[in-house]
Chains A and B, each alone.
Chain A
């Protein structure tokens, strides 16, 4: 197990055998299976944009800088030839060792990373190049410098740009799809995921810390959020799940790239046959339709505007609760930090 998580390479047959029993046989508890997947998705040896593009492209030119502030190495952008097709590629990149990880900020992009991505995607649109993005990010960098330079603005703008780009966009989630930092480069015509990838609105640790009041419940939160690729596919958030070789993508980069390349090429072929107007409209419809709600009879919702006698009595007995007035008594609301997400 430790070997698998650390991604130490062993010989392929042993790994294949392990894969067979590790994920299916020895783990029967769904919580454990989900948690094993989360660990696999976070594996440092997992292939990301550089490894995958390196393996599947005949040519790759990396482009740097956002032209505004700097170059963020947590985001890799460039131009590549995949088969007979020239595309622009964008993705997040972690490091394989500590030194590289520091340089790449553990794969957590700053605003300039997303602004670089936007620059390359706009460039791709200008020159009629399809875009392939590779998502693997725990979340955008949450520090003060990120806030100062407007990480939220960068993410929102990037989402907006992708929603209207007049060129095909294929999204591949290769590892962790961590909330807004992932979605910023994941608004595409088709969303592909590797089998052990995960996608969620908040890290399971963050979710557990807020809803269960302890980060130790992360596996429970991971299960509750249904964050694994197959579950996300069932919800319609992910379109295609690509099986991984052996005990996981980290055991065989070349084979993973080969399988992905076939799917990406097929999707690009299909998407380039559509007119650009249809393409953009279909992309709008795709995201427009995600979410579950119902329309109930619009009779006015449950009443209580003013606290009744029962509420007043309860308030007297237990004044910590709220008053029934539609806003929270500020004295209490402000003492408790609001449940905020790291989206």
Chain B
């Protein structure tokens, strides 16, 4: 194995990475502060950069409403796994670099005044890989949504299962999916948001199972890594393979939505996807002769929505890939928050439940 010496000479294309970012898609140099303001979407080509969990929560939830739960969960090292580095050291390094305990954060918050349970993954923490902690957080978020009968939102960004936890990480597929099955049976909505990248075991478990699956444009979404695919079948992969638009074409995504429209999209969906009230569910099973589809609450809400002047309709293009020029102007509706948003603590500092 070649010995790798640290290089002290800056690379030719070097630039202070904490100030500038080069867009990998169009090569434009972007000032980081400016990039953060436009939700980390390249203003010239619409490339969606990866978003940290904190920024994602800020984007989706009403300002200051996020309350983290189970912030103290931390990975153990059940196998005593050592590759070129011991697993606990890798976790510690990732914690230091990201300020997170693991690759996911879950909690409760409001989306346009509606309570939701939300779990957000961060690719920056060990490639967003799913170990026992991520699986546990997704499962607890689902169980909480079920108990409170509020919608569940999971934002995925992950390379797949965390190899360092061996089959335990594989078992997280079963754990999370079992919990989602209960949610589905109880008629509690689940919106899955797939971002770049969502692959492997995360895609093959909770990410693909949303009542509605929404993805950001041009996100890498797939089951097997492109190298695995190419290696196994030894043939050219089709262009756009495993990108959001590819999945959309093949029927596995409902919507491909530009980041600036994502929050409105979720708000719009949650107006339709409302948890079935519990007693009604029993009534349906108990007396089949009763009007099974008449739900006074949603009937009234629907009526009100038809009668009252429409406020913000989810008017997102199904494919927002080319939405270049609009980007700098668009972030406003998503970040300004709603009337309910109270000034207090910003999402990152919210006390964990």
- Chain A: residues with CB nearer than 8 A to chain B? 139-144, 146-153, 155-157, 159-160, 163-164, 179-180, 183, 187, 199-202, 206-207, 210-214, 221, 224-227, 232, 235, 237, 283-284, 287-288, 290-298, 300-305, 307, 311-312, 315-320, 322-335, 337-343
CB of B167 within 8 A of CB of A201, answer yes
Contacts A151-B223, A159-B173, A327-B124 given; does A291 touch B135 at CB 8 Å:
yes
Min Cβ gap A313→B in Å is 11
Cα distance, A139 to B225, chains bound together (Å): 13
**Does any Cβ of A come within 8 Å of B78's Cβ?**
yes
User: What residues on A are CB-neighbors of B348 within 8 Å?
Assistant: 305
CB of B49 within 8 A of CB of A330, answer yes
CB of A343 within 8 A of CB of B173, answer yes
| Smallest Cβ-Cβ distance to A214: which chain B residue | B1
Cα distance, A235 to B337, chains bound together (Å): 47
| Smallest Cβ-Cβ distance to B81: which chain A residue | A224
User: 9 tightest CB-CB pairs across the interface, nearest first?
Assistant: A291-B132, A142-B224, A341-B160, A298-B72, A343-B201, A340-B225, A163-B178, A323-B18, A341-B200
**Does any Cβ of A come within 8 Å of B306's Cβ?**
no
Contacts A147-B229, A340-B159 given; does A330 touch B136 at CB 8 Å:
no
Per-residue contact bits, chain B 124-168, to A (CB 8 Å; 1 contact, 0 not)? 100101011101100100000000000000000001110101111
CB of A232 within 8 A of CB of B167, answer yes
Q: Residue among B98, B179, B251 with the most chain A CB within 10 A? A: B98
User: What residues on A are CB-neighbors of B352 within 8 Å?
Assistant: 298
Q: Beyond the given A147-B242, A201-B163, A302-B95, could you list 6 further A-B residue pairs with CB under 8 A, ordered by the A residue number?
A: A147-B224, A290-B175, A304-B97, A327-B124, A333-B50, A338-B220
CB of A143 within 8 A of CB of B229, answer yes
Contacts A144-B229, A291-B132 given; does A317 touch B8 at CB 8 Å:
yes
CB of A183 within 8 A of CB of B173, answer yes
Min Cβ gap A247→B in Å is 26
**Does any Cβ of A come within 8 Å of B255's Cβ?**
no
Cα distance, A146 to B209, chains bound together (Å): 17
Min Cβ gap B175→A in Å is 5
User: What residues on A are CB-neighbors of B181 within 8 Å?
Assistant: 160, 163-164
CB of B166 within 8 A of CB of A291, answer no
User: What residues on B are CB-neighbors of A317 within 8 Å?
Assistant: 8, 10
Q: Choose one: A141, A225, A226, A322; the contact of B17 (CB below 8 Å).
A: A322
User: What residues on A are CB-neighbors of B206 within 8 Å?
Assistant: 156
User: What residues on B are CB-neighbors of A156 within 8 Å?
Assistant: 173, 177, 204-206, 208-209
CB of A334 within 8 A of CB of B24, answer yes
**Does any Cβ of A come within 8 Å of B280's Cβ?**
no
CB of B163 within 8 A of CB of A225, answer yes
Min Cβ gap A309→B in Å is 12
Can you report 23 residue pairs joining A to B where beta carbons are below 8 Å apart? A139-B224, A147-B222, A155-B223, A156-B208, A164-B181, A179-B170, A179-B201, A180-B223, A201-B169, A211-B163, A225-B167, A287-B171, A287-B178, A291-B175, A295-B72, A301-B101, A315-B16, A315-B17, A319-B10, A332-B17, A338-B197, A342-B228, A343-B170
Q: Choose one: A144, A180, A199, A338; the contact of B201 (CB below 8 Å).
A: A180
User: What residues on B are CB-neighbors of A202 within 8 Å?
Assistant: 161, 163
**Does any Cβ of A come within 8 Å of B288's Cβ?**
no
**Does any Cβ of A come within 8 Å of B214's Cβ?**
no
Q: Choose one: A152, A200, A339; the contact of B127 (CB below 8 Å).
A: A339
Contacts A201-B166, A293-B75, A342-B200 given; does A302 touch B99 at CB 8 Å:
yes
Min Cβ gap B310→A in Å is 34
Min Cβ gap B210→A in Å is 11
Q: Choose one: A147, A155, A157, A304; the contact of B99 (CB below 8 Å).
A: A304
User: What residues on B are CB-neighbors of A212 within 8 Å?
Assistant: 83-84
User: What residues on B are CB-neighbors of A147 within 8 Å?
Assistant: 222-224, 229, 241-242, 246, 250
Cα distance, A146 to B343, chains bound together (Å): 49
User: What residues on B are CB-neighbors of A300 within 8 Å?
Assistant: 71
Q: Choose one: A142, A293, A316, A330; the contact of B132 (CB below 8 Å).
A: A293
Cα distance, A339 to B202, chains bound together (Å): 13
Cα distance, A94 to B52, chains bound together (Å): 43
CB of A151 within 8 A of CB of B204, answer yes
**Does any Cβ of A come within 8 Å of B100's Cβ?**
yes
CB of A207 within 8 A of CB of B163, answer yes
